[in-house]
Amino acid sequence: MATMLDYDFMRHAFIAAGVVALLAGTVGYFLVMRGQTFAGHALSHVGFTGATGAALLGLTPLGGMICVALLGGVAMGLMGDRLQNSDVAIGSVLALALGLGMLFLHFFTSYATQVTALLFGNVLGVGTGTLWVLAAMGVVCLVLLTFIARPLTFASLQPELAEAKGVSPRLISVLFLGIVALATAECIQIVGVLLVFTLMVGPGATAQRITNRLGCGVALSAGLALAEAWLGVALAYRTDWPTSFWISALSVGTYAAAVLAKECSELNSPHFTI
């Protein structure tokens, strides 16, 4: 560990992975609870389009990714209930966004060498400037999520009653998916467009398999994401295998272990009958 932390790029990698993991684990828990995981995945492809489009225009890819993903999240939030059970529409947007991203790369071939970092992440290449941007975005997102956590939970579990009590489900949806968009843009820096599910969905789904308590579930999801991210960075350093692979393997393995443990406990329950 001391040898790893002797290098600036490894210290940056651990800090960036920690910031992104805490945000992704926290936001991802609510994303899974609301059944909007596919929408979150679509936002990663929208962000990819924004990054490549910004590069084509000579702008900062990270800035383009954040702006376009945020606009996509707000647009999805404005759709309200129509977003639910609309997998075909979301899938079409997802495919179109990825296709546009590849088209932009076709016209800007000098940026094509960096496409792998966008698609699969490059936490070992995070610089000091990007690190500050990720930290600022993480703080803003967590503060906003803290303010809307109670109405968000209310609107997610009992939408009709929440609306009767004066909570606007559409406003909550817009705010939440805006936060998801920013969290997705951060995740792309670590695991890439194609593996956003790793940090945004895996820990949240695992936590909901283990506990039904909201506070414990959110804390567990954030903790799992942090452990998977840091362990993935350490294993990548030791093995020279991609960081994204290790984080993905740990996320899937943890979820599979939680599912297996729950099924075994149900089989051993005295109330279980065949």
pLDDT in tens, 64-88: 888 888 888 888 777 765 555 556 6
Name the average pLDDT for the chain. Answer: 81
Q: Which range in 1-10, 107-116, 231-240 is most confidently predicted, on average pLDDT?
A: 231-240
Q: Which range in 70-79, 105-114, 131-140, 156-165 is most confidently predicted, on average pLDDT?
A: 131-140
Sign, CA torsion 142/170/97/241: positive
pLDDT for res 111: 59
pLDDT for res 208: 92
Q: Which fold has domain 4-196?
A: ABC transporter involved in vitamin B12 uptake, BtuC (1.10.3470)
pLDDT for res 254: 93
pLDDT exceeds cutoff 70 at 8: yes
A 10 A CB-CB count for 10 gives 19
pLDDT exceeds cutoff 90 at 61: no
Which residue has better confidence, 256 or 164? 256
pLDDT in tens, 166-191: 888 888 888 898 898 888 888 887 77
Whether the CB-CB separation of 128 and 81 falls below 8 Å is answered with no
Inter-CA distances, 251 with 36, 187, 213, 247, 255, Å: 19, 14, 21, 6, 6
**Average pLDDT, stretch 247-261?**
90
Token pair 């991802």 is at which residue?
28
Give the Cα separation of 119 and 77 in Å (integer). Answer: 25
Q: Tell me the pLDDT band of 112, cut-offs 50, 70 and 90.
A: low
Which residue has better confidence, 31 or 37? 31
A 10 A CB-CB count for 18 gives 18
Give 255's Cβ-side CA count (13 Å radius).
18
pLDDT for res 83: 55
pTM, entire model: 0.84
A 10 A CB-CB count for 219 gives 16
Give the Cα separation of 180 and 211 in Å (integer). Answer: 23
Q: Tell me the pLDDT band of 272, cut-offs 50, 70 and 90.
A: very low
Question: What would you report as the CA-atom Rg of the chain, rounded to the nearest whole angstrom?
Answer: 19
pLDDT exceeds cutoff 70 at 207: yes
Least confident of 107-116, 122-131, 223-232: 107-116
Q: Tell me the pLDDT band of 163, cut-offs 50, 70 and 90.
A: confident
pLDDT exceeds cutoff 80 at 217: yes
Q: First-to-last CA distance in the chain?
A: 50
pLDDT for res 266: 66
pLDDT for res 188: 80
